Structure 1
Amino acid sequence: MKKFTIFPLILIVALLVTSFLIFGCGGQQDSAEKKTSPAKKQYISIGTAKVGGTWYPIGAGIAEVLNKNVPGIQATAEETNGAVANVQLINDGKSEVGLTMPSTAFESYTGQGNFKGKKNLLMAWFSIEDVYQTTIVPKGSSINSATDIKGKRVGIGQPGSANFIDGKLWLEASGVSTNDIKMLYMSQSEMSDALKNGQIDVFLWCTGYPSASIQEIALARDMVFLPTSKEAIAEIQKKYPYYSLKSIPPGVYKGLDKELPTMSYRRMVVISEDLDEDTVYKMTKAIFGNINYLGSVHPIFKDLSLNNALDSLSIPLHPGALKYFKEKGVPGLDEFVKRTKEIRSK
């Protein structure tokens, strides 16, 4: 009869226990690490314009509010080439949010103009910033109306910028082709200096009032402010019904002694349809729940409210924004949804 040796049995048990401690506890540790590891951030790129302009600090303010109030969001304002570039960045999947104009958003959504045959990911988020076409010429010049601009040197925004698009739209609606003038592409500060120094004949800029730049021009040299005709607005509204004829009140600028009727609309913030409904709902809630703070970041936000959130929007709302606005009973929402539902995306 063989003797039973206990040592090998003890060795086997010891090895099994050791394996359990190593692999079993290791597995528990891995699970614990997974449970405690931070949630993955969702990055939100916000297309603005050149640093130094109005749109960059607006984008920075939006990013700051999102970062502070929407868990898991990491938003950043990006310097871009402006309205058209911001739309294209969203359509290319390189950006999630952008500032633009209703006409540019409409063209993207319907596949017209610069966006013919291109993919559209654009949806409306909310409107921001009332702007007014402000066209000024030196007092004593031969320019007394829009039609007199033919043959003149005209300062206009950089191609693709909101002010380039607005200026071109205003000129063409007023009966002036871009072939009739010498267009000089400039920033607002460059245009201001050029007008004061006699290097251009016409200053075209669409902005809120009062504009510090235009105030400076009017103080440096006597200026005449050209109105927008009812006929020009009617022509614009055939394609873009969200433009209207409003007035800059007298006294806002030196030399403006009576109301100036001119082309006006609200610019808009657009958002990618690739963002899910819940995320955009939380983002919208964060923005409209922090309007007072945003107003301290930039004065443009002081005008933002649920009452004008839909003004000038030219394409359908993102479902997340729509959900929030429904909860808040935003005025005119049902009419807006019905109107934009008829717009067909590509």
Structure 2
Amino acid sequence: MYVKKSILFSSLVLAAFLVGCNDSAAPAQNGTDSTGNEGDTSSETSTDSLESNIVTIGTGGASGPYNILGTTLADIYTSDFGVNSRTQTTGASVENINLMEQGKIEMSFVMSDALSQALAGEVSFKEPIQNVSQVATLYPNVVQIIAKKDSGINTIEDLVGKRVAVGDQNSGVEVNARTLLAGHGISYDDIQVDYLGYAEAADGLNAGTIDAAFLTSGLPNASVLELSETLGITLVSIDPANIDDIAKEHPYFVSYEVPAGTYGNEEPIQTAAVPNALVVRSDMSENDVYLLTKKFFESLDKLVNSHQAANEIPALDAQEGFIAPVHPGAQRYFDEQQ
């Protein structure tokens, strides 16, 4: 939060000047004072160091792109800013947003559908979330519905009556799984639901304790890739026309084609995708978020080296598709790119 200089303070400075006090020649210092209170953090007082000593990044499952990219980003922040930056493995989007609202983490990867619902106070959120601002639109999170090869499960409609892992409860994966199923007239009463993350879902498919799993992430997902090489899998398709209908109410959904060969699939597979978002706490200082945003975009090549999903992170048009309000620090960075 940014606070204006108080009228009282201004008056005291003026009075001191009028009586010829030598100290009045020194300009008032902005930023964070010794008590930790934030002052005016405008671009005139920009520094190359962070006010915060800790930058915790909320991610998701251990094998997912959120965690892989978040770990790389945390290492970069630690190395370049000399701060304690680390990732926190979570149930992903919904938990990350709640942790930010509680002031427990500074930055997180979230899915746009969960972010939209958080701002509106819907579904998994009892009231609108306030303390979240966006700094970038990221790569699309691809809905990858996986079943064993020759299981007879080829389309989302085939999931009726099956044992299905829908992601960790209240994760972004689970939120969009529930929405997509509902868009096809399928409720949780029509399937046997298991709340499993990436690695647990992969283990369940391998052990035969579940029939199919939603593993929504960037491409490729490490767990799905391993299954495709060891078990043999089918990518379950979703009709693009159905996605278009669902998008009328949930505009963050788009049709997406998983390229042939991604997981040994001979043909492209039609499915849905939801863009990811990189968000920060709204109460972080403008200068800190400016520096974090700038470093993020300057480090895209390192992020791509850690996970190829980062190839699809837009650079110049990173503000397109924003769901949450842009943080002033990120806005300053975008303005510099004009």
For Structure 1 versus Structure 2, the TM-score category normalised by the shorter chain is: 0.7 to 0.9
Per-residue displacement from partner, 1:54-81 (whole Å, max 9, x unpaired)?
A: 323322222232334447x543322333
Cα distance change on mapping 1:252 and 1:58 into 2, 3 Å: closer
Distance 1:222 1:324 in 2: 45
> For the structure 1 residues 63 and 307, does the alpha-carbon distance in structure 2 shift closer, same or farther, using more than 3 Å as the test?
same
Q: 1:160 to 1:304 in 2, by over 3 A?
A: same
1:67-86 equivalence runs, <5 A: 67-70=78-81, 73-86=83-96
Closer, same or farther in 2 for the Cα pair 1:63/1:212, shift >3 Å? closer
Question: Larger Cα Rg: Structure 1 or Structure 2?
Answer: 1
User: Paired residue for 2:215?
Assistant: 205
Deviations 1:228-258 (A, max 9, x none): 113431233123323210201222223x222
1:45 and 2:38 correspond: no
CA apart distance, 1:118: 4.8
1:68-217 alignment runs, 5 A limit:
68-70=79-81, 73-217=83-227
Pairwise CA distance, 1:119:
4.5
Give the residue type in structure 2 aligned to 1:326: D
Q: CA deviation at 1:165?
A: 2.0
User: Under a length normalisation based on structure 1, what TM-score does the superposition of the two structures give?
Assistant: 0.75
Q: Cα distance 1:161–1:308, how it changes in 2: closer, same or farther (>3 A)?
A: farther
User: Which moved further from structure 2: 202-211 or 305-314?
Assistant: 305-314
CA contact (8 A) 1:126 1:309 kept: yes
Alignment partner for residue 321 of structure 1, among 308, 330, 336?
Answer: 330
2:28 aligned residue: none
- Unaligned residue ranges in structure 1 (runs of 5+): 1-37, 330-346
| Counterpart AA for 1:278 | N
- In the other structure, the counterpart of 1:66 is 77
Partner residue, 1:54: 65
**What TM-score comes out, normalization by structure 2 length?**
0.76
Whether contact under 8 Å (1:123, 1:273) holds in the other structure is yes
SS at match of 2:86: strand
Distance 2:129 2:267 in 1: 46
Residue 117 of structure 1 and its aligned partner are, at CA, apart by: 2.5
Give the AA of the match of 2:65.
T
- The code of the aligned residue for 2:273 comes to S
Q: Distance in 2 between matches of 1:322 and 1:39?
A: 17
Partner Cα distance (1:305, 1:223) in 2: 31
Percent of paired sites with the same residue: 26
Q: Deviations over 1:236-282 (max 9, x none)?
A: 3123323210201222223x222211101321111111012222112
Q: Distance in 2 between matches of 1:209 and 1:145?
A: 20
Q: Pick closer, same or farther for the CA change 1:296–1:47 going to 2, 3 Å.
A: same
Question: Taking structure 1 as reference, are residues 326 and 223 closer, same or farther at Cα in structure 2, changes over 3 Å only?
Answer: same
Contact conserved, 2:50 with 2:288, CA < 8 A, in 1?
no
Return the offset for 1:41: 4.7
Kindly indicate whether the alpha-carbon contact (under 8 Å) linking 1:83 and 1:161 is maintained by their aligned counterparts in 2: yes
Report if aligned partners of 2:113, 2:172 keep a CA contact under 8 Å in 1. no
Cα separation, 2, equivalents of 1:144 and 1:305? 32
**CA distance in structure 2 between the aligned counterparts of 1:96 and 1:273, rounded to whole angstroms:** 9
State the AA in 1 paired with 2:221.
Answer: S
The alignment's C-alpha RMSD in Å is 2.6
Question: Size of the alignment, in residue pairs?
Answer: 290
In structure 2, the gaps of 5 or more residues are 1-48
- Bigger proportion of residues as helix: 1
Q: Deviations over 1:262-320 (max 9, x none)?
A: 10132111111101222211221121122223334444434434135235431221111
